[in-house]
């Protein structure tokens, strides 16, 4: 069981800590656990409940009406919000449910939500409006040590699998005039944006050469000579020493000079 401080709940739900305390006293909404030294904390099920409460309040429900709902009733109302509410409200509901599924390692639940979002918006808008906001909140959990690396990898792997399935379903490239080289540089491992880019480029009819994670710049030289790509795309996400970044940029400049523009 993970332990969440009330400030964690505030960051993830947007509900002020002071407000959550008032709801605890006035409506018995949740009852925090306490450590041996009387420090308050919350568990996964309580985080789920506050996330659901946040979704319902945003869709127009009153806290007095929400507080009396049991878990099944609340879940049904949240599902109705996802299906019938405005995009902004529904998107937040989807994000909350993805977080809940990730924390519980609920693969079936995660895939069901992902599929519902793609069915509603299409893959492109689903990624921009729901998946990336979900990943941003996952980052908050990870930085604050409230989500284990395994949970983050669990969610990322499922999203990557969905993107790869979408890529596999695309037609063969039909525009040979452009070839895109896609890779992540040394010590870069988070490739969801690169995989999504691969999907978008291939969907547009162009060919990609996908190299994936942790590709040293020196390894690109021979490939460029052989393949002659017209474009290259990479991402720098992790923190690096300024000298490492400068060295990588210098190496890329040298390679780019060989591109047949």
- For residue 23, the model assigns a pLDDT of 93
Predicted structure pTM score: 0.81
Q: What residue spans define the domains of the chain? A: 6-167, 171-256
Cβ-based burial of 110 (10 A; exposed 0-12, middle 13-18, buried ≥19): buried
For the domain spanning 171-256, the CATH number is 3.40.50.280
**Alpha-carbon span 261 to 229, nearest angstrom:** 9
**Alpha-carbon span 198 to 165, nearest angstrom:** 12
Cα-to-chain-centroid distance, residue 74: 24
C-alpha distances in Å from residue 15, one per residue of 38, 44, 50, 56, 179: 23, 17, 9, 12, 47
**DSSP state for residue 175 in the 8-state scheme:** E
- For residue 142, the model assigns a pLDDT of 61
**Stretches in the chain below the pLDDT threshold 50:** 261
**DSSP state for residue 183 in the 8-state scheme:** E
- For residue 127, the model assigns a pLDDT of 96
- For residue 100, the model assigns a pLDDT of 87
- For residue 159, the model assigns a pLDDT of 96
What architecture does CATH give domain 6-167? Answer: Orthogonal Bundle (1.10)
- For residue 239, the model assigns a pLDDT of 75
């Amino acid at each position: 069981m993970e332990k969440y401080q009330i400030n964690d709940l505030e960051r993830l739900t947007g509900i002020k800590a002071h407000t959550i305390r008032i709801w605890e006293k006035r409506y018995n909404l949740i009852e925090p656990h306490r450590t041996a030294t009387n420090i308050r904390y919350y568990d996964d099920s309580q985080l789920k409940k506050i996330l659901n409460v946040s979704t319902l309040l945003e869709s127009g429900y009153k806290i007095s009406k929400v507080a009396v709902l049991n878990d099944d009733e609340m879940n049904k109302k949240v599902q109705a919000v996802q299906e019938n509410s405005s995009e902004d409200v529904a998107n937040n509901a989807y994000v909350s449910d993805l977080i809940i599924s990730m924390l519980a390692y609920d693969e079936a639940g995660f895939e069901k939500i992902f599929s519902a979002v793609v069915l509603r918006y299409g893959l492109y808008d689903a990624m921009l409006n729901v998946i990336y906001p979900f990943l941003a909140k996952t980052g908050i959990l990870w930085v604050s040590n409230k989500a284990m690396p395994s949970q983050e990898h669990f969610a990322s792997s499922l999203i990557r699998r969905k993107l790869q399935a979408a890529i596999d379903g695309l037609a063969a490239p039909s525009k040979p005039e452009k070839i895109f080289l896609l890779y992540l540089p040394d010590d870069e491992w988070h490739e969801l944006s690169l995989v999504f880019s691969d999907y978008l480029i291939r969907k547009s009819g162009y060919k990609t050469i996908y190299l994936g994670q942790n590709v040293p710049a020196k390894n690109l030289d021979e490939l460029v000579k052989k393949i002659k790509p017209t474009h290259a795309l990479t991402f720098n996400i992790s923190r690096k020493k300024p000298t490492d970044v400068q060295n990588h940029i210098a190496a890329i400049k040298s390679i780019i000079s060989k591109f047949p523009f």
